[in-house]
Every structure is written in C-alpha cells, then in structure tokens.
C-alpha cells in the first residue's frame, strides 16, 4: 500500500472525512480515523497538542482528501455559512499555510504555484473585505514554529500595511503573489 502525507493543519473537527487517516508509528501505518468519522472533540486537539504535523492517507484516496479541503475552503470564504470569523480564519490560514508548504517542497511544480497564486488572491480579498479577519488570523499561534505559518503572518501584515497606505486594490497588493507567503 502506498501512502501520501497530509498536513494536520488542514483538518477540521466539524466535517466528516471521506478517507481513512493514518498515523505513522515506528514505520507502521496505524488507522487513526475511519472514513465517515470526524475529528470532532478531543481527537484533533490531541494531535495538535502532540505537535503532530503530518498524517497519512492511501494514495488512491488523495482525490477524496482534496475534495474535503475544497469544501472546507469554500465554506470558510462564504460569509453566509454562519461560521464565526475565527473558525473561518483558522481554515483559511491553514489552507494558505498548506499552499506555502507545497511551493516550498515542490518549487518546480507549476500547478502548485498557480493554485497558490489563485488562493493568495482570494486570501487578500478575505483580509481586505472582513474587518475582523486580520485580527483573527493574527490570533492563530505558530505552535510548531513553521516558516509557512510565519509566511502567512507576514503576508497578512503586509495586506494591513497596504490598506493603511491607501492601497485598496487587491491586485496591487504584494501579498497576492505566492512569494508574499513564502517570506
């Protein structure tokens, strides 16, 4: 069986998963959560408390994982879902962090770069159009001290600085380029 890693920062407790999630212990893959369950309650908190950054899924379930991510992201960007701004910011920040890590790990991958570029533009719009968004993102602690989290923080601050300087066109904001997230 072939596995691919997924980032714990992309997982949410309020949505059932369409894939099996595994943890790696002593080079063995152990089923942690079954398809159809969710990371609700203490499950996700325990993983984060242990500073577990990666889990694993079967390679043939990667499409299901990508659909799970896309659903989370779409929900987070939708103002009408009723989700509070902090939950939305957590999802969006985790997604941006994931995108930055993808570009770090595969800088030659044009598809990853273009996806990151599109996502960066959406992120700039999110921060610029939601008064509490910047504050919510800045509250997210960088517990594992990753460069990708730092990059998202720097990009967020640059968006706020651009707004203070009167640059209100998202396309003219430097953070709309993936380079702003891999600072």
* Mean pLDDT computed over every residue of the chain: 87
Which stretches of 3-136 are assigned E, i.e. beta strand?
3-7, 21-25, 28-33, 54-58
Specify the pLDDT at position 178: 60
Specify the pLDDT at position 10: 80
Residue 157: CA count within 13 A, CB half-sphere: 9
Report the distance separating Cα 27 and Cα 149, nearest Å: 27
- Rounded to 5°, angle at Cα 39 from 117 and 58: 65
**How much of the chain, in percent, has pLDDT values that exceed 70?**
94
Report the distance separating Cα 5 and Cα 53, nearest Å: 10
On the question of pLDDT at 34 being above 80, the answer is yes
Confidence of residue 182 (pLDDT cuts 50, 70, 90): low
| Cα dist from 128 to 44, 125, 133, 151, 156, whole Å | 30, 5, 8, 18, 10
Specify the pLDDT at position 98: 84
């Amino acid at each position: 069986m072939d596995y691919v890693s997924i980032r714990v920062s992309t997982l949410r407790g309020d949505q059932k998963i369409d894939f099996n999630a595994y943890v790696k212990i002593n080079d063995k893959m152990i089923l942690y959560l079954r398809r159809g369950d969710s990371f609700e309650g203490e499950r996700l908190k325990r993983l984060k408390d242990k500073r577990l950054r990666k889990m694993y899924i079967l390679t043939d379930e990667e499409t299901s994982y990508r659909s799970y991510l896309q659903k989370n992201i779409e929900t987070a960007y939708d103002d009408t879902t009723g989700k509070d701004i902090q939950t939305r910011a957590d999802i969006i920040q985790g997604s941006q962090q994931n995108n930055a890590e993808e570009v770090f790990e595969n800088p030659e991958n044009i598809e990853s770069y273009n996806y990151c570029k599109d996502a960066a533009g959406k992120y700039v719009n999110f921060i610029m159009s939601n008064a509490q968004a910047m504050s919510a993102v800045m509250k997210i602690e960088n517990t594992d001290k990753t460069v990708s989290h730092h990059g998202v923080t720097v990009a967020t601050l640059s968006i706020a600085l651009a707004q203070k300087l009167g640059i209100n066109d998202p396309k003219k904001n430097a953070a709309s380029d993936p380079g702003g997230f891999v600072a």
